[in-house]
A = this chain, B = another copy of it.
Amino acid sequence: MTEIYQTSDAEGTINFINMFDLEHMAQEVIPKGGFGYISSGAGDVFTYRENERAFEHQLIIPHVLKDVELPSTEKLFEGEKLRSPIIMAPVAAHGLANTKGEEASAKGVAEYGTIYTISSYASRTMEQIRQAAGPSANQWFQFYMSKDDGINLTILEQAKANGAKAIVLTADATVGGNRETDRRNGFTFPLAMPIVESYQTGVGQTMNAVYGSSKQKLSPKDVEFIVEHSSLPVYVKGVQSEEDVERALSAGANGIWVSNHGGRQLDGGPAAFDSLQYVSKAVDGRVPIVFDSGVRRGQHVFKALASGADLVAIGRPAIYGLALGGSVGIRQVFEFFQTELEMVMQLAGVQTIEEIQGIKLRENRYI
């Protein structure tokens, strides 16, 4: 038996200083099981913690006398103008954080003016998410494949019909990570997953069961399949090594998404930001790189861009904004990152996002 899951329905302006405040505040309004699911990492949280600490491995040198004023975070990406290179990562089940779910988050992100990645495990249909965000919203679709390719074709068709501009194949979650917090909380999914309802039984499942229902045996052929049938750019998400870059690109991927799933999957692996250094060298400008995992500050966005990322995605912070302020709250979170990024740009002496990508960080020799 599943108890009724009662979460926040907030909508409006939040007062906060930083993302650490926001996390603590969100814990007050999201039920324990949902908050545990959203906030926690895998195993001993070594990799989870390293994700954030790793930004200390590379240092931004402040530069002076660089003739900079009111730097701009605007980013031209694949022919479209984004307000900043900060985009929305795919996150399952926004309904855990706010009853308005993805309708509020998609609206807030569209109002901010950046890319929104729809999760396969969203609490709303793609149509609802598209409608809430408006026809001009820049939306991508993150894909957890079914074991049944007929279902996969149907889902890809839906994504195209709803105007998705790219498909993100999450490849690092073919089983659930060791989410001990969920097991301690006895957490099962309280909400339906309408996008994948044809292969997920939905409400009342553990995370292991959820991941077990989707396809484990991912291979380069799956990339080829999506490329062929979607005619959309395909990003492979969860890449952390040179070897995986080559495997993904050989299969036709149009972009690489560096991530360790926010430290929620394999504990004992590297920080995503450390892996970015390896991956960006291997990609060497051939395709765009998206980065996520551990981003909590404008300086983190700056460091990821200076390390080869073209776009930087945020997950948990955006969900906390959604929990505390609905569409307004999530927009504030993006504005928070933009404001900090602008400050960092001014102090680092760069006027544009493109310039950041030419910056050389100083390796921290004392960690």
Could you list which residues of chain A lie within 8 angstroms of chain B, going by C-beta atoms? 17-18, 43-44, 46, 50, 54-57, 59-70, 171-172, 174-178, 180, 183-184, 216-220, 222-223, 236, 238-241, 243-244, 247-248, 251, 260, 265-270, 274-275, 297, 299-300, 302-303, 340, 343-344, 346-348, 362, 364-367
Tell which of B220, B241, B268, B344 touches A266, judged by Cβ atoms closer than 8 Å.
Answer: B344
User: Are B64 and A244 neighbours in the complex by a CB distance under 8 Å?
Assistant: yes
Asked if A62 meets B222 with Cβ closer than 8 Å, knowing A172-B347, A347-B172, the reply is: no
User: Are A171 and B65 neighbours in the complex by a CB distance under 8 Å?
Assistant: yes
Which residues of B lie under 8 Å from residue A61 when comparing CB positions? 240-241, 269-270, 275
Which residues of B lie under 8 Å from residue A44 when comparing CB positions? 297
Residue ID in chain B nearest A347 by CB atoms: B266
Which residues of B lie under 8 Å from residue A267 when comparing CB positions? 297, 299
User: Are A217 and B68 neighbours in the complex by a CB distance under 8 Å?
Assistant: yes
17 cross-chain CB contacts under 8 A: A17-B180, A17-B183, A61-B240, A64-B171, A64-B218, A64-B236, A65-B219, A65-B220, A65-B251, A67-B217, A69-B217, A175-B343, A176-B343, A177-B347, A178-B340, A216-B346, A266-B348
Tell which of B56, B63, B174 touches A46, judged by Cβ atoms closer than 8 Å.
Answer: B56
Asked if A274 meets B366 with Cβ closer than 8 Å, knowing A65-B247, A218-B65, the reply is: yes
Number of copies: 4
Asked if A268 meets B303 with Cβ closer than 8 Å, knowing A44-B297, A251-B65, A297-B44, the reply is: yes
Q: How distant is the Cα of A49 from the Cα of B18 in the complex, in angstroms?
A: 19
Tell which of B183, B218, B220, B269 touches A62, judged by Cβ atoms closer than 8 Å.
Answer: B269
Asked if A344 meets B299 with Cβ closer than 8 Å, knowing A65-B218, A217-B67, the reply is: no
Asked if A223 meets B17 with Cβ closer than 8 Å, knowing A268-B299, A274-B366, A299-B43, the reply is: no
A227 CB to closest chain B CB (Å) equals: 13
Q: How distant is the Cα of A300 from the Cα of B43 in the complex, in angstroms?
A: 12
Which residues of B lie under 8 Å from residue A60 when comparing CB positions? 266, 268-269
User: Are B62 and A238 neighbours in the complex by a CB distance under 8 Å?
Assistant: yes
Residue ID in chain B nearest A300 by CB atoms: B268
A265 CB to closest chain B CB (Å) equals: 6
User: Are A297 and B240 neighbours in the complex by a CB distance under 8 Å?
Assistant: no
Given A62-B260, A177-B343, A267-B297, 9 additional A-B pairs, CB 8 A: A17-B183, A17-B184, A64-B218, A64-B244, A65-B236, A175-B346, A175-B347, A176-B343, A366-B367
Residue ID in chain B nearest A176 by CB atoms: B343
User: Are B366 and A57 neighbours in the complex by a CB distance under 8 Å?
Assistant: yes
User: Are A347 and B265 neighbours in the complex by a CB distance under 8 Å?
Assistant: yes
Q: How distant is the Cα of A367 from the Cα of B274 in the complex, in angstroms?
A: 13
Which residues of B lie under 8 Å from residue A63 when comparing CB positions? 241, 243-244
Which residues of B lie under 8 Å from residue A269 when comparing CB positions? 59-62
Q: How distant is the Cα of A364 from the Cα of B248 in the complex, in angstroms?
A: 25
Asked if A64 meets B175 with Cβ closer than 8 Å, knowing A59-B269, A216-B69, A266-B299, the reply is: no
Residue ID in chain B nearest A299 by CB atoms: B268
Tell which of B17, B174, B175, B268 touches A297, judged by Cβ atoms closer than 8 Å.
Answer: B268
User: Are A55 and B17 neighbours in the complex by a CB distance under 8 Å?
Assistant: no
Asked if A172 meets B64 with Cβ closer than 8 Å, knowing A177-B343, A297-B44, A299-B266, the reply is: yes
